[in-house]
């Protein structure tokens, strides 16, 4: 897991983001592939930032199974 830091623009893996925000790695990868989560694949590893994940969380629309227990930091 990445070091805890206040820099929300530091790159973190989707696995780390999943652990931090309570999503599954596969779900975040799905969002990245569909361009709903800003992320980039470098050397076979998907990377994003805390800021990008929080931007996705605040932009979500209530549809389907909506988790209201997930909020930005």
Structure confidence at residue 60 (pLDDT): 76
**Buried/exposed 15-43: b ≥16 CB within 10 Å, e otherwise:** bbbbeebebeeeebbebbeeeebebeeee
At residue 8, the pLDDT reads 85
Phi, psi angles (nearest 5°) of residue 24: -85, 155
- Position 67 scores a pLDDT of 61
pLDDT of residue 71: 66
Model confidence at 70: pLDDT above 90:
no
- In tens, the pLDDT along 14-64 reads 999 999 999 999 999 999 999 999 999 999 999 999 999 999 988 876 655
Beta bridge partners of 13: 47
Q: How far apart are CA 53 and CA 49, in angstroms?
A: 6
Question: Which is nearest to 20 in space by CA: 65, 46, 64, 51?
Answer: 51
């Amino acid at each position: 897991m990445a070091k805890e830091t206040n820099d929300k623009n530091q790159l973190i893996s989707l696995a780390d983001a999943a652990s931090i925000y309570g999503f599954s790695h596969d779900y975040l990868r799905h969002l990245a592939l569909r361009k709903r989560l800003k992320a980039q694949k470098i050397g076979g590893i998907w990377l994003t930032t805390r800021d990008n994940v929080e931007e996705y969380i605040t932009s979500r629309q209530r549809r389907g199974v909506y988790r209201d227990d997930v909020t930005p930091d």
